[in-house]
Structure 1
Amino acid sequence: MSGNDTQQQPALPAISEGELNAPQHPQEPSQPPNSSRFRRWLLPVTIGLLLLGGIGWIIFSRFIMPMLMAGSMQPPPTLVQLGTPESAPVEDSSDYAATLDSRQSVTLQPRVSGQVSAIYVEAGDRVEAGEPLLQIGAAEQRAQVASRNAAVDTAAADIDSAQADVASAIDTLKALQEKRAADQANVQLNQREYERYQELQRQGAESRQILDQRLNALQTAQATVRQTEADIRAQQSAINRAKSQVVRSQRALEQAQANVAEGQAQLQDYAITAPFAGVIGNIPVKQGDVVSAATPLLTLTQNQELEVQIAIPLERAPNLRLGLPVKLLSDQDRVLQTGKVSFISPSVDPSTQSVQVKALFDNANNQLRTSQFVRARVIWQSRSGVLAPTTAISRLGGRDFIFVAAPFQSSGCQAQAQANAAPGGAPGGPQVEPDQLVAVQKPIKLGRIVGNNQEVVEGLSASDRIVTSGILQLQNCMPIAADTPPANAPASAP
């Protein structure tokens, strides 16, 4: 290297490759210093003015304007729905679990043994009294009845024969009685002849032989009379015997007829009929089964009139009386049937310490079933009450209240309005028109709940108008207006 090379040269700034390749532009002239300073303060000043204007508008609209308008403008009344209390009977009642029972329910069993030849009904059929239900084969019984009918015919023939014997014996008796009369006349004739010849013989006009002949004739006639009388007595005995035979034949006929009636009654036992109108239940037998007197054939239940059995606790027993209303309720608390107490047990169930009560119910529409568990409501007493919707009742500080809509002039709110206008109250408070409706908060005393309503015992009358909705946004003596939907508004979906 030369000496010139060893001398240090001044350092040059480094130039990047991008600067070398960048296009060359002429240099812009520099801005004045006053313009740059103005732009720097323009944006902060603008933002500050906007913030001050917004805060001022808020203060004006929120505080100044309401204060300016408070004395001259009245706030709009609150829209609420109004209604009237319902006057309805309120029941003092108690609900109990109860059981339904049929007053007529029977399991039919045969009185005879045999084979089931026909079944005329099916389970669930409704039948009338006397309608045939089932038939048991009765061929053997019919043969016995036919034999007994033949015995009746034989006994009747015996009676006819005995009665004919009696008639014949009576005719013979009459003949003997006529013969006896003739014989007695012959005795009288022979008696006179004997006496005449006896007188002639004393006079010597007739011989002793002739007198003896007349005496023999008289004695023969007398013997004939005695024989006839004996025949008459024998014939009377024969008549009595014949009459006795008639009586015996009549008794035999009656016995034969009784046997026939018995056989026919037993024959009817082979046909099973409905003892009363009702509904057929279970039929455990089938056609062809052999049954006996211990075999259940089918069940028949009369459910047109059912009996509910209720166990009333002993503490309620003094309030029981015949004729108390009883209502059967569904699971949805709907009244199914209404009846009356028809029986009160004179004794107490020792296991439950309750009194059994029964009530009758008409079941014409077949809503109820035998052995069904139901809820029974016993109505101890009923009174007229005032009911209000539960949505209209509020509770505050352990007391119950309700809002009543009334004109301002008759609401009793004037004192509160004057207090608001007095020193210490809200200055320049709005003036309420006399006919403006206001919500008056009234304390009430509640009674029983009836569905979606509750009884108001004190503090409300049936003529009051009550607020039924929106009570959470109300205060005492607040102006209100009835919210009535337009007439052409569509009905809301259920």
Structure 2
Amino acid sequence: MKPLLILLLAIFLAGCAGKNQQNQAASPPSLPVIRLVSSNETTYQEFPASIQGTIDLEIRPQVSGILEQIFVNEGARVEKGEPLFKIDERPFQEAVNNAKGSLESAKATLINAQLEVEKLIPLVANKVIADFQLKTAKSNYQSAKANVEQAKAAVATANINLGYTLIKAPVSGFVGRLPKKQGSLISISDLIPLTLLSDAHEVHVYFSLGEDDFINFNDKYPGKSIPERLKKLPRVSLVLSDKTVYQQEGQIDMVDGQFDKQTGSIALRATFPNPQGLLKSGNTGKLRLSMIHPDAILIPQSSTIEIQDKMFVYTVDSNNKVSKIPITILGTEGTNYLVKEGLKAGDQIVFDGIDKLKEGEVIKPEKVKQDPTKTTSR
């Protein structure tokens, strides 16, 4: 009898253990769930950009000669009309003196020609000499008169060249490098300019959009034409090379007339105020373009799973059953995704632990105490 009792007890205990295992297996997993709400959100796109002053001028000599004086230092701010360089003026002063001498000689010749005409007029009238001589005298007078005008032009040209020996700032701005030193021979054919003068109280920030981005740009912002869209564009920011955001905002005010055939992109320009001169020509950075999305749906990136270039989330229905559905992403904000299609306000999705879920599985939802889309960095 004892072996039989032992056998029955073993069967009973095994049955109880099996039931416990079945009960444990049937218990649904507890997973955090969030309910989606809509809100007004802003996304950003950043584009590599180059910075130029509103005016970047090459200062070059207009006459050749010896660089006699340099009035400015590298990096100095100068005002319009302020002297920058002085070329030795002595050869040009001599050219002015020679031109003036030629002018006086031409004037004397003109007077003699006029006297000759006046002398011959009564002689021809009295038929003392032939009319041919008077015509010749009048022709000589006209030639002498033309020579005077030519000599005047030569004087003016010589004075202009003399004036070119003092090189002044055509605009206000900052002086660049000074590759030529005092005493150097400079020429109008030099490849390197005397300096660069940059007017940077405002700067132009140039960036490019590809064809797809430009189409989206036209679709996102209202207006029947590009000038209308530019007027309605929000102000833009400039992210500097050290990742800081420039304190002044700018405005996009120009779109190039055509695409670059080599790069397949089109150039745009934004203008930023630069009152403190912090930005210089040649700086680089990224132009940040913002886009406001009313009634947008945000979800944490950690709540999604990517399969074959498609994004999925697990929604939870009223029976706590999960379903894997595809979604379309519009953009990112910090560590969140901005959903374009697939979800709506009021939907519930599994927040974490989705890597072990299966389609149609029942879970035990756990409410997340704080909205994770509002605690992530933006």
Per the TM superposition, whether the score is higher than 0.5 is: yes
Shift of 1:347: 2.1
Q: Give the one of 277, 282, 305 matched to 1:371.
A: 282
CA deviations 1:301-348 (Å, max 9, x no partner) are 122332222132332121235414432234234553211140235224
Q: Which of 246, 266, 287 pairs up with 2:161?
A: 266
8 Å contact kept, 2:83–2:169: yes
Q: Decide which structure has the larger Cα Rg and report it.
A: 1
- State the Cα RMSD in Å: 4.1
In structure 2, relative to structure 1, the CA distance for the partners of 1:149 and 1:449 (3 Å cut) is same
Alignment of 1:31-50 (within 5 A): none
Partner of 1:93: 44
* Structure 1 portions without partners, runs of 5+: 1-84, 177-227, 401-445, 460-471, 476-494
- 1:310 — aligned with what? 207
Q: TM-score, normalised by structure 1?
A: 0.48
The equivalent of 1:292 in structure 2 is: 187
2:137 paired with 1:242: yes
Structure 1 segments, 4+ long, off by >3 Å, are 89-93, 171-174, 332-336, 348-351, 381-388, 446-459, 472-475
Does the alignment pair 1:350 with 2:262? yes
Provide the secondary structure at the position in 2 that maps to 1:250. helix
- Give the structure 1 partner of residue 250 of structure 2: 338
SS of 1:304's equivalent in the other structure is strand
Q: In structure 2, list runs of 5 or more residues that go unmatched.
A: 1-36, 219-225, 304-312, 316-328, 347-366, 371-378
* Greater strand share, structure number: 2
Work out whether residues 385 and 455 of structure 1, in 8 Å CA contact, stay in contact via their aligned partners in 2: no
Structure number with higher helix proportion: 1
Amino acid at match of 1:362: P
Residue identity matched to 2:210: P
SS of the aligned residue for 2:53 comes to strand
Q: State whether structure 2 residue 147 is matched by structure 1 residue 252.
A: yes
Which residue identity does 1:287 align to in structure 2? Answer: Q
Of residues 116, 120, 123, the one that matches 1:172 is: 123
CA–CA distance in structure 1, aligned partners of residues 268 and 169 of structure 2 = 30
TM-score (norm 2): 0.61
Checking the alignment, whether the CA contact within 8 Å between 1:132 and 1:271 is kept in structure 2 is: yes
Aligned partners of 1:92 and 1:450: how far apart in 2? 6
| Matched residue SS, 2:63 | coil
Task: Give the 3 Å change call, closer, same or farther, for CA 173–334 of structure 1 in structure 2.
Answer: closer
% identical aligned pairs:
25
Q: Which residue of 1 aligns with 2:308?
A: none
Summarize the Cα distance change of 1:359–1:137 in structure 2 as closer, same or farther, 3 Å threshold: same
**Aligned mates of 1:102, 1:306 — CA distance in 2:** 4
Amino acid at match of 2:270: A
Distance 2:195 2:369 in 1: 69
Deviations 1:95-147 (A, max 9, x none): 11211123432332323322211111111222233332100102011111101
Q: What is the CA–CA distance in structure 2 between the aligned matches of 1:473 and 1:92, rounded to whole Å?
A: 25
Q: 1:160 to 1:366 in 2, by over 3 A?
A: same
Is the contact between residue 339 and residue 361 of structure 1 (CA under 8 Å) also seen in structure 2? Answer: yes
CA distance in 1, matches of 2:89, 2:245: 54
Amino acid at match of 1:318: I
Q: Secondary structure at the match of 1:337?
A: coil
Please, which of 146, 153, 170 is the counterpart of residue 104 of structure 2? 153
Counterpart for residue 329 of structure 1: 239
Pairing 1:134–2:85 present: yes
- Cα distance change, pair 93–345 in 1 and its aligned pair in 2 (3 A): farther
User: Which residue number in structure 1 is paired with residue 292 of structure 2?
Assistant: 382
Q: Does 1:120 align with 2:71?
A: yes
1:387 Cα deviation (Å)?
11
What is the alpha-carbon distance in structure 2 between the residues aligned to residue 376 and residue 121 of structure 1? Answer: 34
Compare 312-321 and 260-269 and name the one that shifted more: 312-321
What secondary structure, in the 3-state scheme, does the structure 2 residue paired with 1:336 have? coil
Aligned length, in residue pairs? 277
Q: Mark the CA change 1:458 to 1:253 in structure 2 (over 3 Å): closer, same or farther.
A: same
Distance 1:134 1:354 in 2: 42
Within 2, Cα distance between the matches of 1:275 and 1:334? 29
The CA distance in 2 between the partners of 1:311 and 1:302, in whole Å, is 23
